[in-house]
Amino acid sequence: MSDAENESHRAGDGSAEPPVCQTPDPSPVTVPFALPPGACDCHAHIYGPAERYPYRAGRRYTPAPVGLAEYRAILATLGVARAVIVQPTIYHDNQITLDALEASSGQWRGIAQLKPEVSDSDLQRLDAAGFRGVRMHARTGLDDLELIAKRVARFGWHVQLHLDARALPDIGARLTRLPVPVVVDHFARIEVRQGIDQPGFRALLTLLESGRCWVKLSAPFRLGDEVSPYAGVLPFARALVAARPDRLIWGSDWPHSSYHGAMPNMGVLLGLVGEWAPDPDTRDLILGSNPARLYGFE
């Protein structure tokens, strides 16, 4: 996995500075359907100047020179009212997302990166600021999954997992026993060339149908079909929509850090929801009502 949320962190080793990521496309095409009130981008990252938000040593990438202003301009062009900001792993703490939420006047929510020893007072502070979940990465291990889930359950948060679908047959039952909902990123990073009957995707459908899981219809360009509009993803998206449209949300993965193909167009990414969910009421669920429930938008 070579994306912005990759969970691997090496200790600083004096190696060369990581290359700067590609700059995202700043000009979204027009979305071919009407968005519901309160439409939400449920997966984006905000980056800031290193002098204000220092990077971790040994990070795998350097963000493109875009941040809060550029993302807000994209949302305004698209007509997307709300957003969920996922704390990037290249920072030492959640401060950059805290600052982004404060600047949003209550229109954005946050997903934190946490250590098991996080204090109750810090959790309370994050909750008051608008954080609604904690992200964990299967590649670095899920030994603390139950502990962290227990810590955030009192706040009504969820656990967001970045994982490979191939892990789901082994851990699916474990996830259903957690005291909090589970949100799975990026279609569970399925590999579209493996086909609709691959065990990981079947396990994802089972987990989704249990009602204990939500799936982000996000980052289709990272699933093995890099040619826009990512037609290889369509049967998977349609199967998820047929299974539990009330447990699906959409995310852009802006600014698509560490993606090495042609930069996606945000209007195309949002417009794909119309292909995946042709029924207008179902689209409105995915883009509006579902995020409002999951993230506690008023």
**Which pLDDT value is given to residue 35?**
98
Judge whether residue 141 has pLDDT over 90: no
**Which pLDDT value is given to residue 15?**
54
**Which pLDDT value is given to residue 138?**
86
Instruction: Place 58 in a pLDDT band, splitting at 50, 70 and 90.
Output: confident
pLDDT in tens, 22-46: 999 999 999 999 999 999 999 999 9
pLDDT in tens, 127-137: 999 999 999 98
**Which pLDDT value is given to residue 193?**
97
Q: Taking all residues of the chain, what is their mean pLDDT, rounded to a whole number?
A: 93
Return the active site residues: 253
> 158 lies in which domain range?
40-295
**Which pLDDT value is given to residue 298?**
73
In a domain? residue 20: no
In a domain? residue 3: no
In a domain? residue 137: yes
Among 279, 193, 281, which Cα is nearest to 238's?
A: 279
In a domain? residue 149: yes
Amino acid at 23: T
In three-state secondary structure terms, 297 is: coil
In a domain? residue 150: yes
In a domain? residue 34: no
**Which pLDDT value is given to residue 12?**
37
In a domain? residue 235: yes
The pair of structure tokens assigned to 74 is 């994209």
pLDDT in tens, 148-177: 999 999 999 999 999 999 999 999 999 999
| Proportion of the chain above pLDDT 70, given as a percent | 95
Strand order in the sheet with 248-251: 40-44, 82-86, 108-112, 131-137, 158-162, 182-184, 213-218, 248-251
CATH of the domain at 244: 3.20.20.140
Cβ-in-10-Å burial (0-12, 13-18, 19+) of 242 comes to exposed
The pTM score is 0.93
- When divided into structural domains, the chain yields a total of 1
In this prediction, residues 241-261 reach a mean pLDDT of: 97
In a domain? residue 157: yes
Judge whether residue 4 has pLDDT over 60: no
pLDDT in tens, 182-202: 999 999 999 999 999 999 999
